[in-house]
Chains A and B, each alone.
Chain A
């Protein structure tokens, strides 16, 4: 009945949503922020452990959300580990463009192509504008956590 939705819900997304990676609260996390999408009831917290050099040593999350938002959060925690604040932000920008632009602008030098490629499984949300918020929720929270804010909303 839903074969044409396989673009949106690729196997990788179903896998990450059912078995999210880094789905935990690290005791040494020193940055965190809530992400909330009041429209659909998605709620998650992103935890970051930022080391003395300003690099993300560990990234994790907890919360409830749809398959898209959970898979995106899971993939994000894998990808931002080891990144500086500027690199993490540049990857967020690249990912956001991927979700919203049919013809994305050129990538920042701070983004590794192979990182963005791993996020291509989520690009199907371009056809579903209301789901872009789901895909970017954890990223907004990560961005807010790095900036020191307590909360991000994608309303």
Chain B
């Protein structure tokens, strides 16, 4: 079963898409907040959902819903077909070599915990080292720390420089004969920095090191290609990709997945169960215990169709233009500091304003209808690295406009005046 080519809902102008048309696909974008039009600049925390996703989930429940992998009746088969078709869609979206490399999880965090508890528990022990970076989300720190307490390996931390760029030489210096795993953000949720995943994976492969990427912030901004990167593991989450919450993806190289024991037990992941002993299914089913998030998976499939239809290249180009515009204007505000200025970064703009705490910035911007995230962004070590307790973060999605970027900077200027 493979995803069928679909007629495009948004015939593209030469250089991208018509953002005004695209915005009509997202019902929530027409609402107001505090009497002002919603300016949603928090897609890096969670993106809004197009009508296509909402409808696909509703349609499943109204017309085709049942449990999957367990019935001979029509609805069960229909749900199973739709559910498994999404595995093909995800494989195509990631340009993965096979559908069996796609494991459905609850979110990116669960994918990290799966790899830590299954691969990590089997392969990491005293004397071993793993390498993370300063810009990791807590989801790529804490699961390793939990395992470290039990297995006693060492965690090394690759630095970022003052611009937030990832110096490859400093990273390579950390690799040694004891390095078993490298696990890095493909794009930072605070800095927007994009790491050279294919190069990193090649270096790791040459040294026999297992390599994993957190694609939560990358897969939403650009095409990602498993055949080109060829990592052992790659994870992303559905809700940042304009899909629903409750569904994430773990890509695992087939040979690596094959060596891994189950991490959760239950129905659906077993071959045969007896009190004398139980045998397990092959990957990916081995890692999907219990009834999966069926409705959410269908929503993710619709989200992938939606972004594929617009084109990940077009989305990335649109967002880069917004980031460039917002950055240019923000740089002109005296007292504004942009955290993360690495070349080629993703459309994430973290900033601080001299004399105004990010929390106050967030409260004021909300009054102007502007949604940004403020705080530590689940990346406390990175906040310490840049000597800030917190930042404000505007993140751009496929539906944002230049007017919204202007609205942000104008409002930040008004915040400065308010606290002057």
Chain B residues within 8 Å of A2, by CB: 364, 367-368, 414-415, 418
Which residue in chain B gives the minimum CB-CB distance to A64?
A: B389
Is B419's CB within 8 Å of the partner chain A? Answer: yes
The stretch that binds A, out of B95-103, B239-247, B351-359, is B351-359
Shortest CB distance A19–B (Å): 12
Chain B residues within 8 Å of A67, by CB: 356-357, 360, 419
CB distance A1 to B359 under 8 Å?
no
* Secondary structure dominating the interface of B: helix
Give the complex CA separation of A67 and B368 in angstroms: 19
The stretch that binds B, out of A25-33, A35-43, A139-147, is A35-43
Shortest CB distance A51–B (Å): 33
CB-CB under 8 A for A65 and B357, given A38-B376, A39-B375: yes
Is B383's CB within 8 Å of the partner chain A? Answer: yes
Give the complex CA separation of A40 and B357 in angstroms: 9
Is B312's CB within 8 Å of the partner chain A? Answer: no
Give the complex CA separation of A40 and B360 in angstroms: 10
Chain B residues within 8 Å of A131, by CB: 359, 363
Which residue in chain A gives the minimum CB-CB distance to B418?
A: A2
Give the contacts of A38-55 with B (CB-CB under 8 A): 38-43
A40 interface neighbour in B355, B375, B419, Cβ under 8 Å: B375
CB distance A9 to B355 under 8 Å?
no
CB distance B357 to A66 under 8 Å?
yes
Is B339's CB within 8 Å of the partner chain A? Answer: no
Chain A residues within 8 Å of B418, by CB: 1-2, 5, 9
CB distance A42 to B360 under 8 Å?
no
Can you list 8 A-B pairs with a CB-CB distance of less than 8 A? Answer: A1-B418, A9-B418, A40-B357, A40-B358, A41-B376, A42-B359, A43-B389, A70-B357
Shortest CB distance A141–B (Å): 16
CB distance A18 to B355 under 8 Å?
yes
Shortest CB distance A135–B (Å): 12
Give the complex CA separation of A42 and B374 in angstroms: 11
Interface residue tally for chain A (C-beta within 8 Å): 23
Is A8's CB within 8 Å of the partner chain B? Answer: yes
Give the contacts of A58-92 with B (CB-CB under 8 A): 64-68, 70
Closest 6 CB pairs of A and B: A41-B390, A66-B359, A66-B357, A1-B414, A41-B389, A40-B359
Chain A residues within 8 Å of B53, by CB: none
CB distance A128 to B389 under 8 Å?
no
Which residue in chain B gives the minimum CB-CB distance to A38?
A: B376
CB distance B389 to A14 under 8 Å?
no
Is A4's CB within 8 Å of the partner chain B? Answer: yes
For the complex with contacts A14-B419, A42-B357, 8 further pairs of A-B residues with Cβ separation under 8 Å are A1-B367, A40-B358, A40-B359, A65-B389, A66-B358, A66-B359, A131-B359, A131-B363
In the complex, per-residue mask of B310-347: 1 if CB is within 8 Å of any chain A CB, else 0 = 00000000000000000000000000000000000000
CB-CB under 8 A for A41 and B414, given A1-B368, A8-B363: no
Give the contacts of B379-411 with A (CB-CB under 8 A): 383, 389-390, 411
Chain A residues within 8 Å of B367, by CB: 1-2, 4-5
Give the complex CA separation of A70 and B368 in angstroms: 24
Chain B residues within 8 Å of A4, by CB: 367
CB distance A5 to B363 under 8 Å?
yes
Shortest CB distance B13–A (Å): 34
Which residue in chain A gives the minimum CB-CB distance to B377?
A: A41
Chain B residues within 8 Å of A43, by CB: 389
A38, A40, A131, most chain B CB atoms within 10 A = A40
Give the complex CA separation of A39 and B411 in angstroms: 23
In the complex, per-residue mask of B361-374: 1 if CB is within 8 Å of any chain A CB, else 0 = 00110011000001
In the complex, per-residue mask of A1-29: 1 if CB is within 8 Å of any chain B CB, else 0 = 11011001100001000100000000000
Shortest CB distance B359–A (Å): 4
Is A138's CB within 8 Å of the partner chain B? Answer: no
B363, B376, B414, most chain A CB atoms within 10 A = B363
Give the complex CA separation of A43 and B389 in angstroms: 8
Shortest CB distance B390–A (Å): 3
Give the complex CA separation of A14 and B417 in angstroms: 12
Shortest CB distance A154–B (Å): 12
Is A152's CB within 8 Å of the partner chain B? Answer: no
Is A134's CB within 8 Å of the partner chain B? Answer: yes
